[in-house]
Structure 1
Amino acid sequence: MAHALSADGWQAERHRAFLLGLSPSLAVLLIITLVPAAALVIASFTPLSLTDPAATFRFDDPLVNYRQLLHDDRFLHSIAVQLKLSASSVLLQLGVGLGLALLLNGKSRLLDGARTAFLIPMVLPPIVVALIWKIMYTPDVSPIHRVLEAAGWPLRSLIANPDTALWAISLADTWQWFPFTMLMVLASLQMIPDEPIEAATLEGANRWQLFRHIVFPYIRPVLVVCGLFRLIDSFKAFPLIYVLTNGGPGSVTEVTNYYGFIQAFNFSYWGYASAIATVMLAGVFALSWAVGKLGWSDHDKR
């Protein structure tokens, strides 16, 4: 009995020590995330504007900003643009990352060097990536445009064409972040045991059958995680849009966070911009939860 009490006391002390060690991190997390998020939500219930600072704590009509959003065609259009950009960039990053991971899955110095080279875009600052692609998309200075023009195939600027501007941003975003998927999938591929693959090979399975029935089920949870991370980050493609297109031509690349930026910093409608950011944040959480739930539940059934 004494031994049991001693064990219980030890567990209680261990639990208290764990909470004590975790409390500084929780305090920092509270200060840098929850407090600003709460301030954002509170501001969304006010008509806050830099031209009317007294409206900061006025809550006489707290849902006015959200009612305006329902009738704001430009806001609704920005959501559609954001969904197109997120879907195209995430699917491209998963596809390119998976394909390169399968090609580079091996042990040799050449493959090691190739894997290291492919990681370079991911470690570059977003503004540097945006400037690189600004040069690539500008016909007067782009080496790609010069080569195509010399070959007799002149090409219009992709970021100045309303039909291609959004896909040009998606391509630039894919170039920067496909290494993330590639790295995660590579780590997963190297953890697959050899026995199932050897047994299937002896049974006469070809490469496609090996991938479909053995490799893909192993790496599928990793692809779900990569998709979730990249889906969340796709809503933060602000530097690319700001540098490459500034939301244009027209509003074809004006995503939701960029529209909120315009409302806050161009027109000083901080309350309205806070409502836009709050809706976007809620949408990201809901979409991420749905994708993760569907992906993991289907994996559990398998």
Structure 2
Amino acid sequence: MASVLSAPASWQAEQRRAFLLGLSPSLAVLLLITLVPAAALLVASFTPLSLTDPAASFRFDDPLVNYRQLLHDDRFLGSIAVQLKLSASSVALQLATGLGLALLLNGKSRVLDGAKTLLLIPMVLPPIVVALIWKIIYTPDVSPMHRLLEHIGLPVRSLIADPDTALWAISLADTWQWFPFTMLMVLASLQMIPDDPIEAATLEGANRWQLFRHIVFPYIRPVLVVCGLFRLIDSFKAFPLIYVLTNGGPGNVTEVTNYYGFIQAFNFSYWGYASAIATVMLVGVFVLSWLVGKLGWGSHDAR
């Protein structure tokens, strides 16, 4: 009897061991390509490392000097404000655009399937290609958009050369590339909504807005939270767009935090200082993601 009872426990132990053995290669690769570079970044942030003084990579006499300088670096603090504006605007536009198009395209027909396929194209393009496309669109001499506006009597300046519009132009380009992600996720969620609650509400006289507010939206809210988290994290990596479209300008109005770190590392060779910038940005992304996730899931649970 004892051997029979111990058999399931023994089988479960063997199963866990098999899982660990199967996961160990992936975990080793993950450790190598993520944790090791992250640890190297953190260590470098405690040193005054620069290409002009390679020996400084082993000097830890004042490990917090870079972080103290960041507190008094107006350009760094300004880059955080620019990053928050870009992240907030691009994520909000992507969620709104993706949700709206998903609601419009939620159905089955050849026309809708073709439209879905076409709208997914921007998401599969390399970021540098997207940046070049929008560089052409925003350059008045060659831009079809500017030619059209001039033809109808509404000429405008280059959006990426105007300090008042440069950041929003980048946000628009980022939204164009990544709204299909939200659209695709929401479409999948809409197709999983059961028909019974919608049919019951329709029989009770609910209109389209009431159906969306009280039935559809509660079902898709967790997906929107996940989309928002993913896009929030990725919004801190809008480097190709900024590098190609504005190079951080005009002035510093589009100089986000990672681009400022790039300048410190590769223009001025202050690798220790740039590592501190990257570390602070990484911590900030984790904190923001945790807050957004907690608020999103918390409101879902409360409902």
TM-score by length of 2: 0.99
2:35 aligns to what SS in structure 1?
helix
Cα distance, 1:150 vs structure 2: 1.7
Equivalent runs, 1:1-302 vs 2, <5 Å: 1-302=2-303
Distance 1:258 1:182 in 2: 29
Secondary structure class of the residue paired with 2:176:
helix
SS of the aligned residue for 2:199 comes to helix
Find the aligned partners of 1:191 and 1:283 in 2 and give their Cα distance.
34
What SS is found at the alignment partner of 1:187?
helix
RMSD between superposed Cα atoms in Å: 0.4
- Cα separation, 1, equivalents of 2:27 and 2:224: 29
TM-superposed deviation, 1:297:
1.2
* Counterparts of 2:299 and 2:206, CA distance in 1: 25
Using the TM superposition, give the Cα deviation of residue 56 of structure 1 relative to its aligned residue in structure 2, in angstroms. 0.6
Distance 1:239 1:63 in 2: 31
Deviation at 1:294, TM superposition (A): 0.8
Q: Secondary structure at the match of 1:180?
A: helix
Structure-1 separation of matches of 2:182 and 2:117: 14
Name the SS for the 2:282 alignment partner.
helix
Code of the aligned partner of 2:31: L
TM-score scaled by structure 1? 1.00
Question: 1:147 & 1:13 partners in 2: Cα distance?
Answer: 68
Deviation at 1:119, TM superposition (A): 0.1
AA in 2 matched with 1:20: L
Quote the Cα distance in structure 1 between the aligned partners of 2:50 and 2:89.
35
Q: Deviation of residue 141 (structure 1)?
A: 0.0
* 1:119-139 C-alpha deviation (Å, 9 max, x unpaired): 000000000000000000000
Structure 1 residue 153: Cα displacement: 1.3
Q: Distance in 2 between matches of 1:135 and 1:289?
A: 37
Q: Deviations 1:29-76 (Å, cap 9, x if unpaired)?
A: 000000000000000000000000110110000000000000000000
Q: Which 10-residue stretch deviates more, 146-155 or 191-200?
A: 146-155
Letter paired with 1:22: L
What per-residue deviation string (whole Å, max 9, x for no partner) do you get for residues 219-256 of structure 1? 00000000000000000000000000000000000000
Corresponding residue SS for 1:182: helix
Separation of aligned partners in 1, 2:180 and 2:212:
21
State the Cα distance separating 1:85 from its structure 2 match.
0.0
SS at match of 1:42: helix
Shift in Å, 1:147: 1.1
Structure 2: runs of 5+ lacking an equivalent = none
Tell me the distance in 1 between the aligned counterparts of 2:97 and 2:289.
21
Structure 2: distance between partners of 1:280 and 1:77: 13
1:98-139, Cα deviation, whole Å (9 max, x unpaired): 000000000111000000000000000000000000000000
Mapped partners of 1:166, 1:240: distance in 2? 11
1:22 and 1:90 map into 2 onto residues whose CA distance is 34
Structure 1: 4+ residue segments shifted above 2 A: none
Q: Structure 1: any 5+ residue segments left out of the alignment?
A: none
1:152 shift after superposition: 1.6
Give the residue type in structure 2 aligned to 1:94.
L
What count of residue pairs does the alignment treat as equivalent? Answer: 302
State the 1:3 CA deviation: 1.0
Structure 1 distance, partners of 2:168, 2:153, is 24
